[in-house]
Structure 1
Amino acid sequence: MQEMTELVLSRQFTAPRSAVWAAFVEPEIIAQWWGPQGWTVQDGSVILEPKVGGRHELTMEQRDNPEAQVPLKAVVTVFDEHICLASADGPHEMTLDLVIHTKVDFKEFAGQTHVTLTQTPLPYEVIDTSTKAWNSAFAKLETLLSEYF
């Protein structure tokens, strides 16, 4: 059996919490930043039903090789507007046949938003890759938000 752990990342965004929240729940905004550098979100693939039990889906594709695709087919488990968004994805091949729980907490202070992302369970072997992917995606989000704030 693989050893499991949890991924926890924090990031400060120079934007109000309502804007950062929108970037995680509005399909047209999600499509602009989700995924690491070199990956895009397939046109029309983003679905986020804003309620517990709703779908949270999208398909990422590698910019240089659109055949390389990574689906997200999650179910929303927490939808606490402007405070917390959580979902469960899997089990399927892309989640290593696990149910991966992703939780994003949002806190605002002095016009900035502190985001904490937690994913669990993850095998130790994927922590480095997952950390780099999320940090890359958050850099894309930071660039997007900087255009407005």
Structure 2
Amino acid sequence: MRDDELVHRRVFRAPRALVWRCLTEPAELAQFWGPRGVTTPLDGIVVDLRPGGRFETLMVGEHGAHRMVATFTVVEPPARLAWVEPATGLHTTSTLEDLGDGRTAVVIHQRAVPEPMRSPEARAGFASSLDELEVHLARLGQEARS
């Protein structure tokens, strides 16, 4: 792995279809996207889920707002999703593997990661977003059982 690459791995106690839904539907993304302490308003999310389609999020925190604009390069439901951010050149590929027992393994591989996004603080922020996804998936699972 090169210095400008990051790989995040997480196993979620949720079926792959539900994890896919959370990663691709604006109403779900608004519940967890961005590091802890940041909100992502629903009206700031654009998901045109097709290769060449637009992916946009507006993250708002105490230090201001950050807009991420990307173009989907791969959309293979429910297994693989990739995009590139033209402003930075960052490439992100998410792979979802059904573990066959109600759990899903997610591997997020990022290439051409800008230096500021490789800092320990930025990595912790990314991990906190995955923590929030885990909480959201658990909440959805409880709602489904109710």
Question: Could you tell me the TM-score, scaled by structure 2's length?
Answer: 0.88
Aligned to 2:47: 48
Of 100, 124, 127, which aligns to 1:132?
Answer: 124
Residue 88 (str. 1) matches residue 92 (str. 2): no
CA distance in 1, matches of 2:111, 2:125: 15
Letter in 2 for 1:58: T
* % same residue: 29
Alpha-carbon shift at residue 124 of structure 1 (Å): 5.0
Closer/same/farther in 2, CA of residues 116 and 31 from structure 1, 3 Å limit = same
* Aligned partner of residue 30 in structure 2, secondary structure: helix
CA distance in 2, matches of 1:69, 1:9: 24
CA distance in 2, matches of 1:78, 1:38: 30
CA RMSD between the two structures: 1.6
Residue 147 (str. 1) matches residue 146 (str. 2): no
Unaligned runs of 5+ in 1: 92-97
Contact map agreement 1:14 1:113 (CA 8 A) in 2? yes
Unaligned runs of 5+ in 2: 142-146
Letter in 1 for 2:49: P
CA distance in 2, matches of 1:134, 1:31: 15
Contact map agreement 1:100 1:119 (CA 8 A) in 2? yes
CA distance in 2, matches of 1:134, 1:143: 15
* Aligned partner of residue 130 in structure 1, secondary structure: helix
Within 5 A, what are the aligned runs for 1:82-121?
82-91=78-87, 98-109=88-99, 110-121=101-112
Letter in 1 for 2:96: F
Aligned to 2:144: none
| Structure 1 runs (4+) greater than 4 angstroms displaced | none
Tell me how many residue pairs correspond in the alignment.
138
Contact map agreement 1:46 1:56 (CA 8 A) in 2? yes
